[in-house]
Amino acid sequence: MAGLIKYKPYRELRFLIPPLLVYLFSTFLFEISVDPAISIIQKLVAVVKAEAAPGLPQLLTELKARYVWLASALLNLVIPVVAIFVAISTIRSYLKGSNLAWTVIIGMLLCMGNLGYLVYSAITRNALYEFIFGFTYKMLVRSEMFSDVFLLHVYAIISAVNILAAVTPILLLLAICGTLHLPVTTGNVDPMQMISRMQRLKEIINVASAFLVFGILHMSMWLNWTASLVNDPALRSKIAGVAWSISAYWGVAFTLVLTLTYIPSSVHLQNRVRELITKGKMGKMALGTKEAEQWLNENGFSFTLSNQLLQVVSILAPILAAPISSALKLS
């Protein structure tokens, strides 16, 4: 029995649960928000297909929208790779043996689940597929403005972005779990080790925020590409409004994910450090409650504005990404 207990998953993996539940609930709400009786995509496809041969102004508008999207796609191919590198290096630094093995196993299962859901979405043509991927890709196909080779290139880029988007957040969440896990020790804990862990937690949140912000910007630019395929300025404005609203929804969802990732994690680390300080297991002697709180404040553990300003900005950044993207006019 002792051997089985030794190889149980480490307790800090439970911090995966709140952000994953929020993400799943956000996805569920997005799915049920679509009324299958209203064929908006089909009607939009019909409008795009019925458009007359585009003139030079529309071609230039489409070209602008294409390169704005391509710039956002480039960011979403590079930033996730950097985020994955940060996550893997963190996991390897803080987790060893069976804990590392559990992290790899759970990471593989969650990544496979996320990638499987992408395949399921493509097969069933659910809301996530229709109103994000299909919203633009179907219009590109039906507009008959692009060659099959060009459309294949677009499909490959979007597929790569989606695969990275499915894997990266899982690895970042596991890196946070690894940062929170403190190895069992009978001696004193080095204070610098705890300070380093809190700093790494904040760094991962900042990296995750950048990843999500540029993901929202990419989503908005991808959806806005559709607007460049129609001549009617009023309809183009309506399409841009839909692109903004979908991006805004996911911006809210991602801000909630970051909130329920950082707050429980930082509170847990703060409590563990407070416990170590007051019990005299960090440093030469135990500190009283007042001295412990002072130490926490001076070393970035307390929830004061000076200690948490950057994290507040990082957490709110995804919700602000959609309004920023709407400032990029396509005409």
pLDDT for the residue numbered 189: 75
Q: Does 254 fall in a domain?
A: yes
pLDDT for the residue numbered 236: 84
Q: Does 178 fall in a domain?
A: yes
The per-residue pLDDT of the chain, averaged, comes to 87
Q: For residues 202 and 265, is the Cβ–Cβ distance under 8 A?
A: no
191-246 pLDDT, tens digit per residue, is 788 888 999 999 999 999 999 999 999 999 999 998 888 888 888 888 888 889 99
| Conformational region of residue 288, where left means phi above 0, alpha means psi within -120 to 50, and beta covers everything else | beta
In angstroms, the CA 99 to CA 242 distance is 45
Domain limits at 99? 65-326
Helix (H, G, I), strand (E, B) or coil at 180: helix
- CA distances 305 to 20, 198, 249, 268, 318, Å, are 27, 16, 27, 19, 20
Backbone angles phi, psi at 330, to 5 degrees: -100, 0
Q: Say how many residues make up the chain.
A: 331
pLDDT for the residue numbered 329: 56
In angstroms, the CA 267 to CA 201 distance is 11
1 has a pLDDT exceeding 50: no
Helix (H, G, I), strand (E, B) or coil at 36: coil
Q: Does 142 fall in a domain?
A: yes
In angstroms, the CA 266 to CA 252 distance is 21
- CA distances 27 to 1, 24, 33, 200, Å, are 40, 5, 10, 29
pLDDT for the residue numbered 10: 80
40 has a pLDDT exceeding 70: yes
- Residue 2 or 182, more confident: 182
Its pTM stands at 0.89
Q: Does 41 fall in a domain?
A: no
Q: Does 187 fall in a domain?
A: yes
Q: For residues 305 and 199, is the Cβ–Cβ distance under 8 A?
A: no
Q: Does 33 fall in a domain?
A: no
pLDDT for the residue numbered 29: 94
CA dihedral 312, 315, 320, 324 (to 10 degrees): 100
Give the CA angle between residues 182, 187, 189 to the nearest 5°: 45
Q: Hey, what are 40's tokens?
A: 């908006």
Neighbours of 222 (CB within 10 A): 26
DSSP string, 191-209: HHHHHHHHHHHHHHHHHHH
Amino acid sitting at position 90: T
In angstroms, the CA 286 to CA 188 distance is 11
In angstroms, the CA 195 to CA 301 distance is 8
Q: In the chain, how long is the greatest CA-to-CA distance?
A: 80
- For the chain, how many structural domains are there in total? 1
Neighbours of 141 (CB within 10 A): 18
260-315 pLDDT, tens digit per residue, is 999 999 999 888 888 878 776 666 556 666 777 787 787 777 777 777 888 899 99
156-191 pLDDT, tens digit per residue, is 999 999 999 999 999 999 999 999 988 776 667 777
pLDDT for the residue numbered 4: 40
pLDDT for the residue numbered 3: 45
| Tokens 């937690």, residue located | 201
